Structure formats: structure tokens, C-alpha cells
Amino acid sequence: MPNKQPDEATPNFPVLIGDIGGTNARFAIVIDANSEPKRFDTFPTARYETINEGVQTEILDKTSLLPKSAVIAVAGPVDGDEIPLTNCPWVVKPKTMLHDLGLTDIVILNDFEAQALAAVALGDDSLVQIGGGKPDAYASRVVLGPGTGLGVAGLVHARNAWIPVAGEGGHIDVGPRNARDAEFFPHLVPIEGRISAEQILCGRGIVHLYRAICAADGVEPSLALPRDDEEKNPPDPAPVTAAGLKNANPQAAETLRTFVRILGQVAGDIALVFKARGGVFISGGIGQKLIEALKWPEFASGFEDKAPHSRTLMAPTPRYVITHPTAALEGLACFARTPTRFGLSTEGRRWRE
């Protein structure tokens, strides 16, 4: 049996659960250990200066349910009593939240720990398989989510518990793999001299990739012209992805095929690290919108091209797109109901009154 640390006790119900990304915040309340979460409308983080203001206005002011505890997943590493979010100006201050929101217990997790929990919590009706064979029930799993950035997490099974492994895998290096890559990679904008996976495999990354391919071809990026305020208002990838899916623009079509190939390459690399025979899960809105593109051969070829393990390890590894609209909340709800199912230490990440 897994070790049951004192801080792993089930939180007091009702439990507020929240998934805060770089752009949007999603919340629900779990009334008891047997109920489905009561969900609230998603809202943009930019609408409020602080998380406390957002929770009070969007959640507590709209329900008679008063949560006693909270389990919140945030986009960024959890370290200390003030937790800045990546790609979002909010700073989560659990001690202040306890006081301002009338809570007695708060657990803060990384957002992709919550996505990893969802890889256990979700059923087959929330998944679309895009490659590979059958999963090994208790083998390791990995989750990747291109969105505002690129989230990555692992999930391993040991001592009768699922253990989520958070990290910053979206910031690993990527580089050209063929002659065509070598033509457009010099046009990608590096950060401190390197190109990370997140610079390509996210919403703004689709636009950056499209512009680089246009630059290599010597054509104007008409679907995503540069703007002066892109730091505050990132460019919209929708025109590029729409044109790419319809094959209506040659650079957009190449962008989409290159995007899914590189996502396959990175997913394959992470799968190798964890030997993820339990499955590789693509989460988030971009993956859901690109399900058909992820079925193209480019994703499979990028994923499986890992000699000497291409056939024996990579080809059989199952790959899925998570289609549940609030998958992270499902993972958090599962943890709130049965925390001892997971080997997730909350030391340094739990605050109590």
C-alpha cells in the first residue's frame, strides 16, 4: 500500500477545484465524495487583477455553496507562499486566499499534474485514439498540452498508487531534422540563443512557424501579419489552422503538417523518457481542434522515428487526444475525492487555517 502522509487526508467538502492556465480560469465545486463537480463558466484571467477577485465574483457570488477547501492547479511551478503564474500576471497567495475566501484548507498543484491525474480519471468516452495499440494498464503515461504554452507531465504507477510527475518539459530544445527544416528554422525567433519546443508547439508558436515558413519561401505572411502589440495581444493562430486544414494556402498547410510532426517528435521523446506504454495523451483546446491533423501520417512518423526503438517500443505505444472540455477539473475532482489513490505529496503545497 502507498504511504499515507498526514497531509494526504481528504479535504473537507465542499471543495473548490480550479484549473488556471495562461489565458483562462475554470472552476467547479465538488459537494461530496460521491457527487459530480458543479461547474461554472470559464472566464479569462485578464478580466481580474487577482485570483481572489475572480473567484469571489465568478464563483462565490453566483452560488449558495460555500466551499471549505480548495484544490487549485496553476500554470507554473509551485514554490513558496507567493506563486507567480507563467504567461499570466496573477500571483497566487494561498494564505491570503484562506482569509479572503473563507477557506480552511488549500492545496496548490501544477496544472499539468492535474492533466496527468485526468489521464487516470477519464473514461474511453473522453478520448480519441490517434495511433498505436492497446495500453498496458499500469504502465507509465505522459500528457502534453499545446495551448498558451506547452505543458508536459508524466504519470507513473508504484506501490499501488498513481504518481504524477510535473516538470517544465515544454522548454526542451528542438532543432531541424531535415533539409526543409534547415531552411525555415533560421527564421524562428530564438530566446537567449535557442529554440524551445514551446516556441513552436503552442498557439502563438503556430503563427511563428507559419511566418518562418513564409520567410523561407519569400512570401508575405498574409494570414498572420506582425503587429506592434503582440506581447500583450498574441497573434491568433485560427486563420492559419483553418487554411491549413482546408489546404487552402500552401504555407499554412505546411505549417500544420510541420506542427503535428514536431509535436509527434516531442511527444515521442517524452514517451521514451517514461517508457509510456500506458499511453501518450494530447490535452487542451488546440489538440481537440486538430484531431484530424493529428491522424495524418506526419504525427505518427515524428512520434515513431526513434531508432533503435521505432518498431518495438514506439509503434505500439497508444496515443490519444483528450476530448473532455474540462479534463483537468476531472483530475482534480478525482484527487479531492480519493487522494490516497495518488502518490501525490502536498508537503510545501498545502496551507491550512
7-37 tens-digit pLDDT: 456 789 999 999 998 789 999 999 999 988 9
- Predicted pLDDT of residue 163: 95
Query: CA-to-CA distance for 207 and 262, rounded, in angstroms?
Result: 15
Q: What is the mean pLDDT of the chain?
A: 93
For residues 227 and 74, which has the higher predicted lDDT (pLDDT)?
Answer: 74
**Mean pLDDT along residues 71-81:** 89
Q: What is the pTM of this model?
A: 0.90
* Gap between the Cα atoms of 335 and 69, Å rounded: 13
- Enclosing H/E stretch for 204: helix 203-217
Residue range 198-225: average pLDDT? 96
Distance CA 119, CA 330 (A): 9
Cα 3 to Cα 251: distance, rounded to the nearest angstrom? 54
Q: How far apart are CA 234 and CA 243, in angstroms?
A: 19
Nearest partner of 56 among 16, 114, 90, judged by Cα: 16
The pLDDT of residue 6:
40
Where would I find the beta strands (DSSP E) of 68-140?
69-74, 83-84, 91-92, 105-110, 127-131
- pLDDT tens for residues 253-272? 999 999 999 999 999 999 99
- Nearest by Cα to 235 from 263, 196, 202, 260: 202
Percentage of the chain exceeding pLDDT 70: 97
Instruction: Inform me whether the pLDDT recorded for 345 exceeds 60.
Output: yes
Q: In the chain, what is the greatest distance between 2 CA atoms, to the nearest angstrom?
A: 62
User: Is residue 90 predicted with pLDDT exceeding 70?
Assistant: yes
- Which of 127, 134, 125, 167 minimizes the C-alpha distance to 150? 167
More reliable by pLDDT, 137 or 23: 137
pLDDT at residue number 76: 78
